[in-house]
Amino acid sequence: MAFTIADLEELPRGTRAEVHDGNLYVIFPARLWHQYVEQKLCNLLEQAGRFAFTQVGVLNTAKDTRVAEVGVFYDQPTDPNAAWHDPAALALVAEVWSPSSDKKDRNPSWYAERGIPEYWLAEPIEGDPWGALVTMYELANTLAGSTEYVERRRATLAELQLNGLS
C-alpha cells in the first residue's frame, strides 16, 4: 500500500509525519534544543524581511513529501490554511539536525532536485548545550548538468543573532 498526503490528513491531530515515495515516516517530538534552534532561525529570517515559517510541508507528489523545520517563501503565502506547498514557492529550507533524522538532514538532495535555491543545516555544538552551527548551502550547477548544494557560509547561531544574516 502506498501512502499519500490524503492518508496524513487521517492521522490523529498533532502527529508529525512525511510521505517518502509512498512510505509513511512518523516523526518523533522534537527535543527542546531542536525547537529552540528552529524558532531562532525562523525569527532571524523574519527579521531579515523574509516570509519564514516553521514546519513547512513541501509537496513533490501526493506520495512524496517532506516537512522542513523552517521554510522561506518568495512571497507571502495567500492561503494561511495550506499545509503543503509547491517547492517552486520556496526560496530556502532549513533543517535542524536530530539523531533520528541524521540521514535526511545530511542529504539535502531531495530539496536540490526540486530546485529550492538555499538549504541550511543547523547542528549542535559540542560543549554548548543551546548553541548551533549553521551551514548555509546554495544551489549550483555541476559540470555533469545536475544541480547540487555547495557550502556558502558557516556561522554559529549566536553570531547570526548578533550580526544578522548579512
Q: Which domains does the chain have, with CATH numbers?
A: 30-163 (3.90.1570)
First to last CA, the chain: 47
Q: How confident is the model at residue 11 (pLDDT cuts 50, 70, 90)?
A: confident
Asked if residue 107 has pLDDT above 90, the reply is no
Phi and psi dihedrals of 114, rounded to 5?
-100, 5
* Alpha carbon distance 160, 122 (integer Å): 12
This prediction has a pTM of 0.86
User: Would you say how long the chain is, in residues?
Assistant: 166
Mean pLDDT on 147-166:
94
Selected residue with higher pLDDT from 92 and 62: 92
How far is the C-alpha of 154 from the C-alpha of 70, rounded, in Å?
A: 17
Instruction: Quick: pLDDT tens for 57-73.
Output: 999 999 999 999 999 99
